[in-house]
Structure 1
Amino acid sequence: MVLNPQSNRVPAPSADETVKPAPTLQVLSDDPASDATRGALAADPPLVPTDAMLEELARESQQLESATPQEILRWAVDRFAPKFTMATAFGPEGMTIIHMLAEIAPETPIFNLETGYQFEETLALREKVKQRYGIEVEFKYPELSVEQYEQLHGGPLYKTDPNRCCYDRKIRVLHEAARGWHAWASAIRRDQSPDRAKAPIVGWDRKFQLVKVSPLANWTKKDVWGLISKEDIPYNELHDKGYPSVGCQPCTRVVQIGEDERAGRWSGFQKTECGLHTS
């Protein structure tokens, strides 16, 4: 049973509230035994990562290195639609890709992982996307509401074990959402963090078992905001308030001058990724 957690949203932490890190963070990995039922392997027809297919993806990725994001998206749609989808957190990069897809392939299914902890400003973008582009982004929910999840763990788990919280409320949900698709678009840029620096334009996503397409891999923050300004693309108003990267409300803070743009995520922990874009 899937429950809508929006009625149990958490309040924003106060400015002086600090999150104390646990001594260590558990590193969570997926069960390899479940690989056969994931992503493209569960599609009809299935897409299997044979040596020949992986070689094809590597060749295409290299050839697309000099392509524009629009050209990359057109390639992805031509190659994988109607089994091509997109996950978005409504960040500036994601909003840029949505803008491009609205022109190239507006029928592309797009979804958001609604953890129950997102900012209201983030959720408001769903309606803005619908009004501007006629695209309705689907919310994908965890099995438990925020209230049920915190009761189960004796309080907010993000304060002591954010890896587990991300795993339960994002990664598990994306595993289910990715089942049956051949490929998905991600909005990562290589210059965002060391974890993303080597991301290919096109590659096999081993964690979610489908093809991952990153049309903005070679773009910079300046490129993204240049297009947003030029095309008047809707964006999260929190970006104007010191939040260059917006995640879940309790685990996101304002970034100070000179800090990495993802420094405001899981501040106080040795953690910069939720796990969606790491192998």
Structure 2
Amino acid sequence: MDKIKSLLEEYNNKIATLNLAESLQYVANTIEGKHVFSTSFGIEDQLIHHFLDQFENEVSIFTLDTGRQFNETYEVFQKTQDKYKQKTIHVYYPNELDIQDYVSKDGVNGFYDSIESRKSCCFVRKVKPLKKAIAGANLWITGLRAEQSQNRETMQFLEWDEDNQLIKFNPLLKFSLEEVEELVAQHNIPINSLYKKGYLSIGCAPCTRALEEGEDFRAGRWWWENGKKECGLHIHQDKNN
């Protein structure tokens, strides 16, 4: 483990000197094994997808279809697949029996009733499918940015993900939202039409609303809850998210 941390520190110092395209290429060439990129078709993921399409290194792209997505998310999914034909977007779905069990126990919209029920829904619809998607991977590329939440401010470009036993790469970690928007506009990258309506963080339709003026980036997700709001996909170090 000490050797891995030492190598990651060396790689992180190098990445800090590179632009987005260079950092993606560098990590893809440097980290051995299977590489995967998870997209929820948010603006950050769309930007990464655009640059991944520019080089031939094999990075498997996947998305999690929870069954409760906005129609606008499916629309940008199709536009993305049409624009970037070089790479297939693999789709992972929740297990049907898991969904049946959840609904019979908590109800179809039971996630509104308690944090525990909401986390159970996220586990069934997101976390379990994620485990399948990243099985056997050595590198997982994400669209996380430090300014998205306090929990992400201490993250590094490359980190060891103890829970999933792989290296997680956050190429947009130091990007501001304005920088992301500028690059997306510059390269004419398709984005979810809900984004310009105030949906900066887009998840499942029942659990996402537009932001009101002055609200925090994550305020539109699980807005009926207080405190840290994560679904369990991204567990940082020893923090239980």
TM-score for both structures, normalised by structure 2:
0.89
Match of 2:41 among 87, 90, 100: 90
Indicate the larger mover: 100-109 or 229-238. Answer: 100-109
The residue type equivalent to 2:151 in the other structure is D
Of residues 70, 76, 99 in structure 2, which corresponds to 1:125? 76
Aligned to 1:277: 234
Task: Select which of 205, 215, 222 maps to 2:178.
Answer: 222
Query: Could you tell me which of 133, 138, 141 is aligned with 2:90?
Result: 138
Q: Whose relative contact order is higher, 1 or 2, with alpha carbons under 8 Å and at least 6 apart? A: 1
Bigger mean CA offset, 78-87 vs 133-142: 78-87
Q: Deviations over 1:134-191 (max 9, x none)?
A: 0321110111279624234333232122111112211121112111011010101111
- Indicate if the aligned counterparts of 1:129 and 1:136 stay in contact, CA closer than 8 A: no
> For structure 1, which runs of at least 5 residues remain unmatched after alignment?
1-49
From the superposition, tell whether residues 53 and 106 of structure 1 become closer, same or farther in structure 2 (CA, over 3 Å). Answer: closer
The alignment's C-alpha RMSD in Å is 1.7
Task: Give the structure 2 partner of residue 213 of structure 1.
Answer: 169
Give the 3-state SS of the residue equivalent to 1:103 in structure 2.
Answer: coil
Q: How far apart are residue 64 of structure 1 and its match?
A: 1.5
Match of 1:191 in 2: 147
**C-alpha separation between the residues in 1 aligned to 2:141 and 2:17?**
18
C-alpha distance in 2 between matches for 1:63 and 1:82:
20
**What per-residue deviation string (whole Å, max 9, x for no partner) do you get for residues 58-116 of structure 1?**
22113312321212111121023651110111100000000000102374210011111
Q: How many angstroms does 1:218 deviate by?
A: 0.7
| 1:16-47 residue CA offsets vs partner (Å, 9 max, x unmatched) | xxxxxxxxxxxxxxxxxxxxxxxxxxxxxxxx
TM-superposed deviation, 1:126: 2.1
> Partner of 2:192 in structure 1?
236
Share of identical aligned residues, percent?
A: 34
Match for residue 26 of structure 2?
75
SS in 1 for 2:54: helix
What is the match of residue 5 of structure 2?
Answer: 54
Q: 2:109 aligns with which of 156, 167, 184?
A: 156
TM-score (norm. length: structure 1): 0.78
| Aligned counterpart for 1:100 among listed residues 51, 63, 66 | 51
Task: Indicate the larger mover: 77-86 or 217-226.
Answer: 77-86
Native 8 Å contact 2:98 2:124 kept in 1: no
Q: Which has the larger radius of gyration?
A: 1
Asked if structure 1 preserves the Cα contact closer than 8 Å seen for 2:29 and 2:57, the reply is no
Structure 1 residues 142, 125: CA separation in 2 closer, same or farther (over 3 Å shift)?
same
